[in-house]
Amino acid sequence: MNEWINEKLLPPVLRFVNTKPITALRNGMLYTMPFTIVGSIFLLLANIPYEPAANWVTESGLGVYFNQAFGASFAIMAVFAVIGIAYSYVKTEGFEGLPAGMIGLVIFIMFMSAELTDAESGITIGNIINKDWTGGKGMITAILVGLIVGWVYSWFLRHDIRIKLPEQVPENVANSFTALIPAAVLITGAMFVYIFFDKVFSTTFFEFIYDVLQSPLQGVTDTLGGALIIGFLVPFFWFFGVHGSTIVGGIMEPILQANSLENTEILNAGKALTIENGGHIVTKQFMDQFQTVTGAGMTIGLVVFMVFLAKSAQFKQLGRLSLAPALFGINEPIVFATPIVMNPIMVVPFILTPVVSSVITYFALYTGLVPLFTAVQVPWTTPAILSGLLVGGWRTALLQAFVLVLGFFIYLPFARKMDAINYAQETGQPVEEDVLEKIEAEQ
């Protein structure tokens, strides 16, 4: 089985995740992180999950300013994404990437309508940038524009189709002329695309992509099956020593972010955040706080066993060294030193724990036991329980504590078996079933 996976399954998967588009997508989305975190702080301040404090923020008028800061950071995440993706693609090709990022932004804005009609009065306002499309709703368009601009811009430079200036010209001036020809071609082509969708379909490229591509993708991920696939794939890749969190997160994060932002838009529209009103269950918080919390495989239960219950010196020492990092979501020491990588005993709880957590969390959100997540997010290094409290209130923190405790008991029998093997080897005893059973009974 290992031979088949290593020789047949993993090579094409790794080739795919290391392609230029996927690399650009993964690296480009990283540029959105600071604005996501900072914007989340202001969104949290504007919607404090404690009623007296929330009322004070509203009455004091501070909520307006907090929402203004959120609207200028997290709410325009697609803008940062299109710039970052185009920039990363061209930089990977070995060229200066900033001009491509700026061209991507121009085309991104061009693809949205510059007019907005008020539904009640019928008055049309022109010359605007519609912020409805700068957040989650525009994320797939941002990805497509960023990748296409990055590819076309790189093609022009690879074929040396550009205006060349003498070496004495300052680099920043030379770069601006280098971008002139690809910019003219890309922007002109984007204009014809805009005309095509306007005249043929009476819509915009944004609306077309959202209806045809993004909404179905969000619908697929926002199911129990979608949640289980994410919960399974992250530890599955890690089992083979491949960074599953980066691979799966890099591909899924834009869609999960869009789900989070749409939940916030429901609240901003004055509606209750419920599934009936279009609320999403599977969001970035779902993945970060209930599938990969304390690290891929949710390994904090294994660390607790090592620290307090292990008999082998190896596990005791590893647990003590890994406890502090694990509290902040860093579990590479556990994954590689236990080891979990290529370990047929430990892979079972390593995959099973996030899968079970996914099922429990999904139904807790579906039934309303825990509120749906808004766009409030915390850094992935935020300790468990605290992260749950910040993104969803006390009920979310309580659910997080429950799945982590449950994770400890899922790991327990497998950890005992591994610890017994280690202890038998350390004490010179034969690694036989009767010996291992005796050691496990003594734990």
- pLDDT tens digits for range 175-225: 778 889 999 999 999 999 999 999 999 999 999 998 888 888 888 888 999
Sequence-separated (6 or more) residues with CB below 8 Å from residue 392: 49, 285, 289, 370, 371, 373, 376
* pLDDT of amino acid 174: 74
**Res 435 pLDDT > 60:** no
Secondary element (H or E) of residue 125: strand 124-125
* pLDDT of amino acid 2: 62
| Paired tokens of 145 | 């524009």
- What torsion, rounded to 10 degrees, do the Cα atoms 8, 12, 13, 14 define? 110
**How does pLDDT run across 21-74, given as a tens digit for each residue?**
888 988 888 888 888 888 888 888 887 767 788 888 888 889 899 989 988 988
Residue (of 151, 126, 143, 127) closest to 77 by Cα position:
143
Under a CB-based contact definition with an 8 Å cutoff, are residues 78 and 142 in contact?
yes
Residue (of 184, 182, 21) closest to 93 by Cα position:
21
CA–CA distance, 438 with 443 (Å, rounded to integer): 9
CA–CA distance, 215 with 415 (Å, rounded to integer): 42
C-alpha 283: how far from its chain's center?
A: 9
**Res 119 pLDDT > 70:** no
- What torsion, rounded to 10 degrees, do the Cα atoms 206, 212, 213, 218 define? 100
| pLDDT band per the 50, 70, 90 thresholds, residue 104 | very high
Categorise residue 294: left if φ over 0, alpha if ψ from -120 to 50, beta otherwise.
left
117 three-class SS: strand
Categorise residue 35: left if φ over 0, alpha if ψ from -120 to 50, beta otherwise.
alpha
- What torsion, rounded to 10 degrees, do the Cα atoms 323, 327, 333, 335 define? 120
* pLDDT of amino acid 3: 66
* Average pLDDT across the chain, whole number: 87
Mean pLDDT on 259-268: 85
Q: Radius of gyration over alpha carbons of the chain, in Å?
A: 25
**Res 13 pLDDT > 90:** no
Q: Which residues pair with 255 in a beta bridge?
A: none
* HEC letters along 227-258: HHHHHHHHHHHHHCCCCHHHHHHHHHHHHHHH
Q: Which residue has the tokens 């399954």?
A: 9
CA–CA distance, 122 with 120 (Å, rounded to integer): 6
C-alpha 249: how far from its chain's center?
A: 5
CA–CA distance, 433 with 393 (Å, rounded to integer): 47
* Helix 244-268 vs helix 139-158: crossing angle, to nearest 10: 130
**Res 407 pLDDT > 90:** yes
**How does pLDDT run across 286-327, given as a tens digit for each residue?**
999 999 999 899 999 999 999 999 988 899 999 998 888 888
Sequence-separated (6 or more) residues with CB below 8 Å from residue 65: none
User: Would you say how long the chain is, in residues?
Assistant: 443
| pLDDT band per the 50, 70, 90 thresholds, residue 103 | very high
User: Measured on CA atoms in the order 213, 218, 221, 224, is the torsion positive or negative?
Assistant: negative
Q: What pTM, to 2 d.p., does this model score?
A: 0.78
DSSP output for 49-82:
SSHHHHHHHHHHTHHHHHHHHHHTTGGGHHHHHH
**Res 267 pLDDT > 90:** no
**How does pLDDT run across 240-261, given as a tens digit for each residue?**
777 778 778 777 888 888 888 8
* pLDDT of amino acid 6: 64
* pLDDT of amino acid 213: 85
CA–CA distance, 127 with 97 (Å, rounded to integer): 29
Sequence-separated (6 or more) residues with CB below 8 Å from residue 79: 105, 108, 134, 142
